A and B are shown apart, each in its own frame.
Chain A
Amino acid sequence: MLKITDLVKRYGKGDPVLKNLDLTIEGESVVSIIGSSGAGKSTLLRCINRLVEPTSGSIVLNGTELTTLQGRELRAARRKIGMVFQSFNLVDRLTVMENVQSGRLGYISTWAAVMRRYPKKDIRRAFELMERVGIAHYADKRADELSGGERQRVGVVRALMQDPEILLADEPTASLDPKTSEQIMGLLRDLAGELKLPVLINIHNVNEAKIYTDRIVGMRYGRIIFDDKPDSLDQEAMDQIYSGSPHADRSTDMKEAS
């Protein structure tokens, strides 16, 4: 279970990008976060694995408070949080297998990592997952030889190799064509079910959010103004989510907002 309480993030002295945000994700549900660019979707996701440092508030994942962790403890917590990125963020000059195994970097010894001597069970797991998403035959290819959809599959497998307790996806389909985009969304949904994994997806495509996710969270400049089943997202709610201006919304009183 992921429980976010009263989360605030501001960059420098500016208006807060996240304003006293509360969000709870239970079970193995697939949750999508929608909202216009700059609403704070990306920042929210990055606060969870601390790629972005939250200003205040609390984020608890299965009993572990994430906001106060440092060094070794932070890295141990990050192992349990998989992340999939918009531009895949693979290391182009490494092979698909090396990219996939880099999801295990938090577990294996430095020597094994440098020498590429991965544990047998990690290799078996990698082939299983790659077979599952249809990229096993690319194992020895360099990552930059693959197409966009295939590269994102590598990204997904890398995240799953971490044996995560939650999967974060930051606009995982925004760099892909419509067809591939649907395949990846379908894959994320199916994997969530198969691996009993909660998935949190930032997404611009509202249609895909409705089709592939169990719950939609609508953000408007720093706060959550919609949180319900996809069926309840009507035109009025959509207009609410995609209106407003960044400055006016962010600078209004913070307490009144939540």
Chain B
Amino acid sequence: MSTIAEKFGREDWSRFTFKQRMQRYAAFALSALLLAWALGSIDVIWVWVWDAPEQMGDLLGRMYPPDPSNLGAILRVLLETVNIATFATALGVVVSLPVAYLAAQNTTPNRATLWLGRLILVTSRSVNTIIWALLFVAIFGPGVVAGILAIMFRSIGFIGKLLGEAIEEIDKRPVEALEATGASRFKVIVYAIIPQVMPTFWAVAILRWDINLRESTVLGLVGAGGIGIILQGAIDTFNWPEAAMVLLAILALVVLGEVVSAFLRRRIL
């Protein structure tokens, strides 16, 4: 009895043809070249890189022990940071609802509104929170208002985009059923679309609050309120023990935010 290989005369097989293999090598070489060129063009001062461990030790030495004498002020500003994040998230969620409605292909009234919705989303997301903050500090002056607006503007794009995608993925059969009952457009949205995107809505809102908590800790660096102001002050005056204390406080806040959002996710979703 002959083996199958003998019968069919085939025992060679390779995933790629010779030409494909060469193309893959070429792509690989090109990528390596690109990386090497990128590294060469950014002008790294290698001496500073090599003595980084020493510098790090030096900095930690100066930071230790953290100085809790200003803890009262730090905690007060930390609370302000949480408030900025929470308030901005709430505002962002409210504003992003109509934007999501416009940006979803299956709910937007017409092509012009679709593009308007998308434009708002792209604008919001393509500008970093810190840049938004710089802009709003220039308009409203330094302080909490600029911080809230900056976080909110960045959140609209994020929430609106994810919510818009959730709207596009709903089961449209209930929508058809409610249209058949003679319900108006708005009622169809309330009864058939909103219930279906509710889980996504909560998940996205909680996730964004979590992210906003972290983002609001750096707003102070550009004068837009929150804990960053104290951190900036401590670093500028070489008050390293206090800077260490602020960093520890931020770490505690982020961990706390993680715990709270995990809890909310379990309870609501």
Contacts and interface: CB of A to CB of B under 8 A. Distances in A.
A113 B173 contact: no
A158 B196 contact: no
A207 interface: no
Contact of B181 (A79, A90, A94, A98): A79
B187 interface: yes
Contact of A94 (B182, B186, B191): B191
A75 B173 contact: no
B183 A85 contact: no
Given A113-B190, A114-B190, A105 B178 contact: yes
Contact of A81 (B174, B176, B180, B188): B180
Contact of A77 (B182, B190, B198): B182
Interface string B148-177: 000000000000000000000000011011
A104 B179 CA distance: 12
Contacts of A76: 182
A78 B180 contact: yes
Q: How large is the interface on B (under 10, 10 to 19, 20 to 34, 35 or more residues)?
A: 20 to 34
A75 B198 contact: no
Contacts of B196: 91-93
Contacts of B198: 93
A101 to B, nearest CB: 9
B233 interface: no
B203 to A, nearest CB: 14
A102 interface: yes
B183 A102 contact: yes
B173 A162 contact: no
A246 interface: no
Q: Which of A78, A82, A102, A110 has the most CB of B within 10 A?
A: A102
A103 interface: yes
B182 A105 contact: yes
Interface of B: 173-174, 176-184, 186-188, 190-192, 195-196, 198
Minimum-distance CB pairs A-B, first 7: A106-B182, A105-B183, A78-B182, A79-B182, A89-B177, A93-B195, A89-B173
27 contacts: A74-B182, A75-B184, A76-B182, A78-B181, A83-B177, A85-B176, A90-B174, A90-B177, A91-B174, A91-B178, A91-B191, A92-B174, A92-B195, A92-B196, A93-B198, A98-B191, A102-B178, A102-B183, A105-B181, A105-B187, A110-B184, A110-B187, A110-B190, A113-B187, A113-B190, A114-B190, A158-B177
Given A90-B177, A105-B188, A105-B191, 15 more contacts: A74-B182, A75-B183, A76-B182, A77-B182, A78-B179, A78-B181, A78-B182, A85-B177, A90-B174, A91-B192, A91-B195, A105-B181, A106-B181, A113-B190, A159-B181
